[in-house]
Structure 1
Amino acid sequence: MPQQNEADVVTLGESMVLFQSMGDRSLMYESTFTKSLAGAESNVAIGLSRLGKKVRWISSLGTDPFGDFVMATLAGEGVDTTHVIRDEDAPTSVYFKDLKAYADPNVYYYRKHSAASRLHPGVIRSEWFDGAKHFHVTGITPAIGKETEETVRQAMILAHEKGLTISFDPNLRRKLWSAEKAREVLLSFIPLCDIYLPGIEEAQFLLGDLPVEEYGERFLAMGPKIVALKLGEEGAIGFTTGHSVKVPPFKIDHVVDTVGAGDSFAAGLLSVLLDSLEQLRTGNIPAEVVIEALERANTLGALATQFKGDWEGAPRLKELKGIMNGKPVSTR
């Protein structure tokens, strides 16, 4: 009988309430908005839950209706929220997305002094990781508060001590901190992870302009067992010690909204690698596993660009397998 507190993945990070225009007008002229949930770590949590994995999400929320909405949405998606902190003295964050027909959306954050920005090392609990296999974090959380950088670092160290593998997506958000501070902190987290998930622009930001293969070599030398480098329209390339494999993109005809695509990529990749954790720990990951993980990651990342919202269109495992096999699930 499985223990009630088992989790395939634990993730730590801020979720916000997202408002976006109901129509096609810019924020300045729009008067009606839709409300949804957004946040890199909760996007990954929902994506993994829909793929059949047990996920535990850790964060801090206000005791306001927006915090209740975040809790209800995640619980409705099967995500374990029992360790979430509710802060009576700080609000739940919100942000607005300004869609552009000719470019990526502009986003406007209202997260300063939020409940999650007040996370500090003293709130970390060993039971966050009880019964868990893997810990996923991003570079967003360290940027949102005075002590959130050290909170994420100490959580990663504790997770490692408790035997969990760790993945880290730098998820660079230039609006949250200076380039110098971002580069320093993001580089410092790479040695603490087993799976590193940069995009090509993030690799360039961190290491300068290098050949793609050299990015893999340089990042692996910092400590991860596998580096999955996202190449946008060119697909992705996976690096393990002594090997690299490139997987072409999943083809789509048009893009609606790119926000959340990287989180969907992470969910797809992790959903495969979670079944090979012992091989991940030793660094002896078969090429066929890396290829399968990247194929699923590319597919989910591409599908995420086909709808407004960060996660709402994420497929269930049966749907995803049908899409990847060219046999979509019958709907009528």
Structure 2
Amino acid sequence: MSRVVTFGELLLRLSPPSHLRLTQARSFDLYYGCAEANVAASLSKFGLSVKFITAVPPNELGESSLSMLRSFGVEPISFIQGKRLGIYYFEQGASERPGKVVYDREDSSFSTLKKGMINWEDAFKDSDWFHWSGITPSLTLELAEICEEALTVASRMGLTISADLNYRPTLWKYGKNANEIMPNLVKHCDLLLGGIDDSEKVLGIKVNEKDTQEEIFSNWMNAFPKLKNIVTTKRMDANASSNGISASFWNGKELLHSQKYNISHIIDRIGAGDAFMAGIIYGMIAWPDDNQTALEFAAAATCLKHSISGDINLATVNEIKALMGGSGGGRVSR
């Protein structure tokens, strides 16, 4: 199977137990993960060979975070530098009370990476796929430039390139808007995960009220000629405890739709988009000529992630295939 490289920040997540609010917390459940790391761990669990490039501090938290990745079979390429691991606090929502994230990631080890530090030719050697997300270039201008550095080399070396736009408005604080930075990076992508709301805010492509999803995604492909496939997820009748979820796939010719899943008791929705991203990458590698099956695999993967605590999807390929085949409903597997 293919060898995948991902690049991003590894974070410590602290969550109050039992759906407590942050203001009530006297203890926290601890997890490691975030965006590209979640994708890396999930892909490795699916059986792919995965490298994850990051930076962590020379202390026990840095060591523990890398050990977590290795436990999933991911090969971390880590720069040991700086003084701290980035942190985020996640308050689980319930019913009509939404979840909440508080970031504490300024001056993290990852943010001290500089252009020229990473030998991208070596990092991409013997690899087929590079995945990144819009979170990394949102953190500092230097990291945006490092992303461009990586994407230029990956394109030259012929890797398939995917990205999750992952727009987080609270992270863009260094004087640039996402739509000033992201188009220059997205132009390298073959596969993109994003939604209609990202069009103007992230890609700088205007949307008219009457535009269909197909027209909007066609405009993306016209703006970025290398782009071959676009995927998006949709939540319906959503609150913090229950969602309907489905996904769509635009290949430039037809818009495919997955089956809809009704998730009635959400355990943890953090990482659901990353589970979908890992699912679509795996699906396109496993079924390169069957976009519908790849999409169904990704939709089932994100559905199962909602039942799993922590950032990382622990569902196996067989469990995801079983749900695709209609084996949901909570029966005990014996």
Instruction: Tell whether the structures are fold-level matches, with TM greater than 0.5.
Output: yes
Aligned to 2:87, which of 90, 94, 110? 94
- Residue 242 (structure 1) aligns with: 253
Q: How many residues align?
A: 314
Matches within 5 A, 1:259-278: 259-275=270-286
- Cα pair 2:179 2:200 within 8 Å, conserved: no
- Cα pair 2:308 2:314 within 8 Å, conserved: no
Cα pair distance change 1:132/1:276, threshold 3 Å: farther
Write the deviation string for residues 208-236 of structure 1: whole angstroms up to 9, x where unpaired: 54421122101111120111122233622
- Residue 213 (structure 1) aligns with: 214
The amino acid that maps onto 2:221 is L
- Cα pair 1:64 1:92 within 8 Å, conserved: no
Cα pair distance change 1:33/1:163, threshold 3 Å: same
Which sits farther off after the overlay, 113-122 or 237-246? 237-246
TM-score, normalisation: structure 1: 0.88
- Residue 43 (structure 1) aligns with: 38
Whether 1:116 and 2:117 are equivalent positions in the alignment is no
CA distance in 2, matches of 1:294, 1:53: 18
TM-score, normalisation: structure 2: 0.87
Aligned to 1:22, which of 6, 17, 24? 17
CA distance in 2, matches of 1:273, 1:259: 23
Aligned to 2:233, which of 221, 230, 233? 230
Whether 1:8 and 2:11 are equivalent positions in the alignment is no
SS at match of 1:23: helix
- Cα pair 1:300 1:314 within 8 Å, conserved: no
- Cα pair 1:105 1:257 within 8 Å, conserved: no
Aligned to 1:173, which of 150, 168, 171? 168
Aligned to 2:100, which of 95, 106, 110? 106
- Percent identity of paired positions between Structure 1 and Structure 2: 27
Instruction: List gaps (5 residues or longer) in structure 2.
Output: 237-244
- Cα pair 2:287 2:294 within 8 Å, conserved: no
Whether 1:318 and 2:318 are equivalent positions in the alignment is yes
4+ residue segments displaced more than 6 Å: none
- Residue 66 (structure 2) aligns with: 71
CA distance in 2, matches of 1:53, 1:68: 23
Whether 1:189 and 2:192 are equivalent positions in the alignment is no
Cα pair distance change 1:318/1:244, threshold 3 Å: same
- Residue 283 (structure 1) aligns with: none
- Residue 302 (structure 1) aligns with: 303
- Residue 281 (structure 1) aligns with: none
RMSD: 2.1
The amino acid that maps onto 1:253 is S
Matches within 5 A, 1:127-146: 127-146=122-141
CA distance in 1, matches of 2:97, 2:123: 39
SS at match of 1:123: coil
Write the deviation string for residues 290-315 of structure 1: whole angstroms up to 9, x where unpaired: 1111111111112222233211x521
